[in-house]
Amino acid sequence: MAHPMFRPRRLREKPLLRKLVRETALAVDDLVHPLFAVHGRGVREPIASMPGQFHLSIDEMVKDTKDIASMGIPAVLLFGLPSDKDPRGSEAYAEDGIVQQAIRAVKDVVPDLLVITDVCLCQYTSHGHCGIVEGGTVRNDATLELLSRVAVSHAEAGADMVAPSDMMDGRVGSIREALDDSSFTDMPIMAYSAKYASSFYGPFRDAADSAPQFGDRRAYQMDPANGAEAMREIALDLDEGADIVMVKPALPYLDIISRAKAEFGVPLAAYSVSGEYAMIRAAGRLGWLDEERAMMEALTSIRRAGADVVITYFARDAARVLERGTVS
């Protein structure tokens, strides 16, 4: 045969044909922007390891959330840096804690923006672990009660969804029960179900001042080599009442995202974490790759793998590109 019968290049020749047959669309509707709240006023402090991201006092955060909502981004994911840390992470569940204040302020001024909150203790504990530490290890069951208090305090402050990221066993069930007991039966839970013990959280731990003071998180976060275990974690969280399940990080775990979508077919989020952001930003700044194209390619790949929701520090940059309609 002189010529191939099928020539895939036929559909690649013209930009409009490429557009016509494109399989995956990234949309602004899918994006969630993480933000870091700090105490004080007028604070907008750049986070060195995450260029373009800031520690924001609540007055400044309100300005950014207005901007984020005006771009059509549906949700933010809030993290807080407390004024004091203690072994039980008390500010995490304090009525006037930093995140609780931030939720109230944002919902007050920008009611149409969804406020999702990270439910964890590591930013708030003096030892930097995600639970109560006794005898050098994180106690699972004792931690559940505190996590439930965190979630209920976020609900009381007006959060739209809570997102437990601690990786304790049974925390989704425990939080669901606590929310229901406090009449928050309609409050959805987005569970960080398959959360790996990843080096890609490095820049975040600077940003959130949440590095463990001893040891690491491998006794509760997942081993990066495991895939089947991720499916079991997701199944457990769904059984316990999770409404959205999450895979985190995203880019090194696209296979896990794809398996999760195929096996469960439930709403699925992927968190493109601080290290993924920092890598693309840094290489872009050095002129080693085209940052905008790399960003769009990475975010699209996460959608292609099967994520419905993409949590990314690039949310605003991506929204600008999507608004413009073309990658430059």
Q: Which residues are catalytic?
A: 195, 248
Yes or no: say if 189 and 161 are a contact pair by the CB < 8 Å rule. Answer: yes
In the complex, minimum distance from the CB of residue 12 to ligand PBG, in angstroms, rounded to a whole number: 35
Check if the beta carbon of residue 37 is closer than 8 Å to that of residue 99: yes
Interface with ligand PBG, residue 274, by CB under 6 A: yes
Q: How far apart are CA 313 and CA 276, in angstroms?
A: 9
Q: How many residues bind ligand PBG (CB under 6 A)?
A: 12
Structure-token pair, residue 114: 């969804």
Beta carbon nearer to ligand PBG, 64 or 118: 118
Three-state helix/strand/coil letters over 130-149: CCEEECCEEEHHHHHHHHHH
Nearer to ligand PBG, 57 or 165 (CB): 165
**Which residue, 118 or 237, has its beta carbon nearer to ligand PBG?**
118
Contact string 122-151 vs ligand PBG (x = CB under 6 A):
x-------x---------------------
- β-pair partners for 195: 248
Long-range contacts of 64-68 (CB under 8 A, 24+ apart): 64/35, 65/35, 65/106, 65/109, 65/110, 65/113, 66/109, 66/110, 67/316, 68/33, 68/113, 68/315, 68/316
165 near ligand PBG (CB under 6 A): yes
Should residue 299 be labelled a site residue for ligand PBG when binding is judged by CB under 6 A? no
**Chain centre to alpha carbon of residue 113:** 16
Please, which residue, 204 or 253, has the CB nearer to ligand PBG? 204
Alpha carbon 173 to chain centroid, angstroms: 20
Tell whether residue 220 is a contact of ligand PBG (CB under 6 A).
Answer: no
**Which burial class, exposed, middle or buried, applies to 93 when counting CB atoms under 10 A from its CB (0-12, 13-18, 19+)?**
buried
Burial class (CB within 10 angstroms; exposed 0-12, middle 13-18, buried 19+) of 213: exposed
CB of 205 to ligand PBG, least distance (A): 6
One of 103, 110, 120, 151 touching ligand PBG (CB under 6 A):
120
Residue 93: half-sphere exposure toward Cβ, Cα within 13 Å? 18
As measured in angstroms, the least distance from the Cβ of 214 to ligand PBG is 14
Closest CB to ligand PBG among 174 and 210? 210
Residue closer to ligand PBG by CB (options 204, 314) is: 204
| CB of residue 4 to ligand PBG, shortest distance in Å | 45
Q: Which of residues 192-211 bind ligand PBG (CB under 6 A)?
A: 201, 204-205, 210
- Which residue's Cβ lies closest to ligand PBG? 204
| Cis preceding-peptide flag for 224 (omega within 30 of 0) | no
Interface with ligand PBG, residue 273, by CB under 6 A: yes
Q: Which of 118, 233, 291, 317 binds ligand PBG (CB under 6 A)?
A: 118
Nearest approach, Cβ of 243 to ligand PBG (angstroms)?
18
Stretch that binds ligand PBG, among 64-72, 114-122, 180-188, 300-308 (CB under 6 A): 114-122
CA dihedral sign of residues 223, 229, 234, 240: negative
What's the min distance (Å) between Cβ of 123 and ligand PBG? Answer: 7
> Would you tell me which residues interact with ligand PBG (CB under 6 A)?
118, 120, 122, 130, 165, 201, 204-205, 210, 217, 273-274
